[in-house]
Amino acid sequence: MNLDELYQTVILDHAQRPRNFGVVPQATAVAEGLNPSCGDEVTVSVKLSADRQTIDDIKFKGAGCAISQASASLMTVKLKGKSRAEALAFEQTFHDMMTAATLPAYPPGFGDLRILEGVRKFPQRVKCATLGWNALRQALGE
C-alpha cells in the first residue's frame, strides 16, 4: 500500500465512521458551515471550560462528501482538550496547509491532519476540507 492509498483509507474510515458525530449537550458555542457550490454542511458544537479557554468537548454533525466529513471528524479528535489558543493555531495551520503556496511548519500534535494535505492539489475541494474548520473559527468567535 502506498502513501496515497493509506491517506485515502484513513479519509474513507473517518467519513464512514466519523468520530465525535453529534451535538454537544449544553454547548457553549455552535456554528454552521455550508458550501453552496456542492451542498456540504457541517455544524460544530463546542463546550468550553468555565474560563472559556479550553475545549472540554467538541462534536460535529452534517452531511456531505467524504472530505468534508473526514476533515471535521479528524478536527474534533485533534482539538478535544486543547486550549482555545491551540485550537485557533491548528485552524490557521490547517488553512495555510490548504491554501498557502508552500506548506506551513506543523505544530506539535498536528499529525494525522496532514493526511488531508493532498486536497490542496484539487482547489475545488479545498472548501470541502476547510468547512468544519471555518465553523470552528466562527464558534470560537474569531
| Strand 55-63 with 29-35, pairing | unpaired
pLDDT digits (tens, 9 = 90+) for 65-89: 999 999 999 999 999 999 999 999 9
**Where do the structural domains in the chain lie, given as residue ranges?**
3-139
Instruction: Encode pLDDT of 4-63 as tens digits.
Output: 787 788 899 999 999 999 999 999 999 999 999 899 999 999 999 999 999 999 999 999
pLDDT per position as a tens digit, 80-124: 999 999 999 999 999 999 999 999 999 999 988 999 999 999 999
CATH 3.90.1010.10 is held by the domain 3-139: yes
What pLDDT, on the 0 to 100 scale, is given for residue 26?
Answer: 95
